Chain A
Amino acid sequence: MRSRSEVVVNYVILIAFAAAVVLPILWLLGAALSPSAEGVVDLAHLHLNFGNFAAAWIQADFGRHLAISLIVACGTVLVVALIAPLAGYSLALLRPPGGKLLFALFLAGIMIPLEGIIVPLYFDLRSYGLVDSVPGLLLVQIGLSLSFGVFWMRTSIASVPPTLIESAQLDGAGRFATLWRIVLPLQRPAMITLALLVFMWTWNDYFVAFVLMNNPDQFPVTVALGDFTQRYSSEVNLMCAAGVLIALPVVILYIFAQRHFISGVLAGALKG
Chain B
Amino acid sequence: MTLERLKGAPASRPLPAVRERRRPLARSLRDWAAAWAFILPALAIYVLIVVVPTVQSAWYSLWNWDGVSAASWVGLGNYLGFLQDPTAIEALGHTGILLLFFSVIPIVLGLLSAALLSRGRLRGEGIFRWVIFLPQVLPSVVIAVTWKQLYGPGGPVNTALQDVGLGWLQQDWLGSFTLALPALGLVGTWTTFGLCMLLFVSGAMAIPEELYDAARVDGAGAVREFFAVTLPGLVPQLGVALTLTIIGALRAFDLIWLTTRGGPGTSTQTPAIILYSQAFVQQNVGAAAAIGVLMAVASLIVALVIARFTGEGAR
Contacts and interface: CB of A to CB of B under 8 A. Distances in A.
B150 A24 contact: yes
Instruction: Say what secondary structure dominates the interface of chain B.
Output: helix
Contacts of A2: 119-120
A20 B190 CA distance: 8
Interface in A235-256: 236, 239-240, 243-244, 246-247, 250-251, 254
Contacts of A21: 131-132, 134-135, 190, 193-194
Interface stretch (B37-45, B83-91, B94-102, B175-183): B37-45
A113 B251 contact: yes
A220 to B, nearest CB: 10
B195 interface: yes
Nearest to B116: A10
Contacts of B303: 111, 272
A94 B25 contact: yes
A14 B193 CA distance: 12
Interface in A118-177: 118-124, 139-140, 142-144, 146-147, 149-150, 161-167, 169-171, 175
A142 B122 contact: no
Contacts of A169: 25
B288 interface: yes
B174 interface: no
Contacts of A24: 146-147, 150, 190
Nearest to B133: A262
A270 B32 CA distance: 30
Nearest to A153: B42
B104 interface: no
Interface string A88-116: 01110111110100100110010111111
Contact of A243 (B39, B128, B145): B145
A244 to B, nearest CB: 8
Contact of A86 (B42, B45, B56): B42
Contacts of B199: 266, 269
A2 B131 CA distance: 25
A210 B144 CA distance: 15
A22 B67 contact: no
A226 interface: yes
A57 interface: no
A73 B133 CA distance: 22
Contacts of A143: 45-46, 48-50
A1 interface: yes
B38 A251 contact: no
Contacts of B56: 120, 124
A130 to B, nearest CB: 11
Contacts of B295: 113, 115-116
Given A18-B131, A175-B25, A117 B19 contact: no
A218 interface: no
Interface in B217-234: 222
Contacts of B272: 115
A41 B155 CA distance: 10
Given A38-B154, A266-B202, A254 B49 contact: no
Interface in B117-145: 117, 119-120, 122, 128-142, 144-145
Given A116-B292, A121-B53, A139 B45 contact: yes
A166 B25 CA distance: 9
B62 interface: no
B79 interface: no
Contact of A95 (B26, B119, B146): B26
Contacts of A254: 134, 137
Interface stretch (A25-33, A44-52, A187-195): A25-33
Contacts of B41: 83, 86-87
Contacts of A14: 113, 117, 122, 128
Nearest to B255: A206
Given A95-B25, A116-B292, A120-B53, A203 B139 contact: yes
A38 B266 CA distance: 28
A265 B136 contact: yes
A54 interface: no
Nearest to A14: B128
B146 A240 contact: yes
A239 B128 CA distance: 28
B291 A115 contact: yes
A17 B57 contact: no
Given A119-B60, A269-B240, 6 more contacts: A10-B117, A14-B122, A25-B146, A113-B299, A170-B8, A266-B195
23 contacts: A17-B113, A24-B190, A25-B138, A31-B149, A91-B39, A113-B247, A117-B292, A118-B292, A139-B48, A146-B45, A147-B50, A150-B46, A166-B10, A167-B5, A167-B8, A206-B139, A206-B140, A222-B141, A226-B144, A243-B142, A250-B137, A258-B130, A266-B202
Interface of A: 1-2, 6-7, 9-11, 13-14, 17-18, 20-22, 24-25, 27-28, 31, 38-39, 41, 83-84, 86-87, 89-91, 93-97, 99, 102, 105-106, 109, 111-124, 139-140, 142-144, 146-147, 149-150, 161-167, 169-171, 175, 178, 200, 203-204, 206-207, 210-211, 222-223, 225-226, 229, 236, 239-240, 243-244, 246-247, 250-251, 254, 258, 261-262, 265-266, 269-270, 272
